Structure 1
Amino acid sequence: MADPTPVFDDLRAESDELDRLVAELGPEHWMLPTPAPGWTIAHQIAHLSWTDRASLLAVTDEDGFRALAEKALAAPDSFVDEGAEEGARIPPAELLPRWREGRTALDAALRSAPPGARFPWYGSPMSAASMATARLMETWAHGQDVADTLGVVRPPTDRLRHVARIGVRARDYAFGVRGLTPPTDEFRVELLGPIGDLWTYGPEAAPQRVTGPALDFCLLVTRRAHRADLAVRADGPDADRWLDIAQAFAGPPGAGRPAKGDAG
């Protein structure tokens, strides 16, 4: 079994990067609207805080998490927004330390998890490494919303490899959540990493192919940018269809971001 420590370290680094973006913001900046309709910066951090605590519950209190999951199943279209809305009402001076405390506790719990342990989640049970990877993906995506709101350009890092991997692995889910039949054959995905190395997934000879910068692919699969504004390309009709619907996260896809030419 591979050592999961690197992904734990990457999750910590991703969270710390976002923390630096919001740590010195005044209360008025926490109320700025982000590209996610109806969500302010406070909503973004509140959502991360809530999900970190849900993850901690899954790792440390299986029965407690199952009770939480039942509430989610009872209101699948509103549960996430309700959690973010509740947290966003907390003053930033309280919300920021709450987020820090929750993610620190989750970090410790994941690092101390027994090798091979799997924990309940809203879909399939997850290993500690998979849970950390999912938390990193979500932290990066919501951090992108915050960065866009503040007009900050974040240099891409090798941590995007985790986001890209989830996006590739979630291909069939993206089709299924829309009621579509997933393609039967694997795709070849070739992404150019931030330092110029090539990240590859799938059979080299696969006729259906996706290529482009890793950053653009990650923006696409987290639905933080419209396909028309990204340099991700598809060869083959199934791959082309996938790029229209790709998503790395569970749950309803949402409307996604409009193309820049369509904004406003």
Structure 2
Amino acid sequence: MTDKRAVLEQVLADLTAEGDQLEAAVVGLDEAAWRTPVPAEGWDIATTIVHLAWTDESALAAGTDKAAWDALVLAALEDPQNFVDVQAFEGARAPAPEILARWQRLRPAVVAMLRAYPEGQKLPWYGPPMSPTSMATARFMETWAHALDVYDALISAGAMTARPEPTDRVRHIAHLGVRTRDFAFGVHGLEPPTDEFRVELVSPSGETWTWGPEDAAQRVSGSAYDFCLRVTQRAHREDTDLVAVGADADRWLDIAQAFAGPAGAGRKATVHGG
């Protein structure tokens, strides 16, 4: 097995585990519970799971069905600002068992497609084409981030007591967060810094993960879990333990964004009552 193949297999295994964890949280919910609002404005658990299923469908089309993929792209071009939300809201009109079954069918299908995709080739996507590993990483990030929304909704409703314990699976998101530094600056209309940053993060298991030169002047440090919350905009910067050294690194933590699309509004701070 090549190194690239081994990396892909690890991401696919972690994607499956993350999806299994979320599925276990929603599989026993009744119809009313599926309509519990999540922190994303206007969304509920149903629209969240539909969104994951729809994105899986898009990935499957990109990797296996050119005609279906082309139709998706044309539909997105007709309404680029609202296309994603429209798909979520329309799909959420279905009864909860249908939504769940749709997602359950698509999750393993995407994993199988990415595993079988020719090594060295890239899948078309709404942004730049993506390798199977990059697509799997993006699916992991979305699954993890939207799962947090669902867990928070269930906690607010009294159906869960706490989020699942963090795991080192978040390394995929941390790596993506570091790699998308320049994208985050660009999507905010800012010129990306020319110097590399040093990023030092402590994993949930206590390991130290690092990126960038040891002697870099611009630095970010803290827990990997908080960094992943930040780059997926699931936590305000003030609610994390992240520390920046240098003006550019400090600015990055304000605007960090590992997901595609326009700059997100993020979450309000809670530590100071904001």
TM range (shorter): over 0.9
SS in structure 2 at match of 1:119 = coil
Q: Which runs of structure 1 show a deviation greater than 2 angstroms over 4 or more consecutive aligned residues? A: none
117-126 or 46-55: bigger deviation = 117-126
Aligned with residue 228 of structure 2, among 218, 222, 229: 218
Partners of 1:53 and 1:103 within 8 A in 2: no
Distance in structure 1 (CA, Å) of the matches to 2:77 and 2:167: 35
Q: Structure 1 CA distance, aligned partners of 2:246 and 2:66?
A: 43
Establish whether residue 185 from structure 1 lines up as the match of residue 187 from structure 2: no
Stretches of structure 2 that go unaligned for 5 or more consecutive residues are: 156-161
State which drifts further: 233-242 or 250-259. Answer: 250-259
Hey, what does 2:242 align to over in structure 1? 232
Deviation string, structure 1 residues 226-251 (Cα, Å, up to 9, x no partner):
00111011000000000000011000
Q: Match for 2:103: what amino acid? A: W
CA distance in 1, matches of 2:227, 2:215: 21
Partner Cα distance (2:223, 2:268) in 1: 20
In structure 2, the residue matched to 1:89 is 93
Q: Counterpart of 1:168 in structure 2: which amino acid?
A: V
Query: Contact 1:62/1:119 (CA < 8 Å) preserved in 2?
Result: no
Aligned pairs (5 A) from 1:46-61: 46-61=50-65
Q: Deviations over 1:24-70 (max 9, x none)?
A: 11111111111000000111101000000000011112342133123
> Could you tell me how far apart the structure 1 residues matched to 2:77 and 2:232 are?
22
TM-score by structure 1 length? 0.97
Q: Flag structure 1 segments of 5+ consecutive residues without an equivalent.
A: none
1:122 aligns with 2:126: yes
8 Å contact from structure 1 (residues 62, 120) kept in 2: no
Residues in 1 aligned to 2:182 and 2:273: alpha-carbon distance in whole angstroms: 29
Aligned to 1:259: 269
Aligned equivalents of 1:28 and 1:2: distance in 2? 44
Whether contact under 8 Å (1:30, 1:41) holds in the other structure is yes
Select which of 40, 52, 69 maps to 2:73: 69
Residue 71 of structure 1 aligns with an amino acid whose one-letter code is A
**Which residue of 226, 246, 257 corresponds with 1:247?**
257
- The 8 Å contact of residues 207 and 235 in structure 1, kept in 2 or not, is answered as yes
**Corresponding residue to 1:43 among 47, 61, 82:** 47
For this pair of structures, how many residues does the alignment match?
263
The alignment-based identity, stated in percent, is: 57
Q: 1:193 corresponds to which letter in structure 2?
A: S
Q: CA deviation at 1:255?
A: 1.4
Secondary structure at 2:94 match in 1:
coil
Instruction: Give the counterpart of 2:84 among 80, 84, 87.
Output: 80
What do you get for the CA RMSD once the two structures are aligned? 1.1
- TM-fit CA distance, 1:254: 2.3
Bigger shift: 63-72 or 107-116? Answer: 63-72
Separation in structure 1 between the aligned mates of residue 233 and residue 102 of structure 2, nearest angstrom: 27
Match of 1:139 among 132, 139, 143: 143
What letter is aligned with 1:37? E
- Does residue 1:102 correspond to 2:106, yes or no? yes
Q: Secondary structure at the match of 2:4?
A: coil
Give the structure 2 partner of residue 160 of structure 1.
170
Q: Report the residue type matching 2:202 in the other structure.
A: L
Q: Which shows bigger deviation, 146-155 or 30-39?
A: 146-155
Aligned-partner Cα distance in 1 for 2:77–2:174: 28
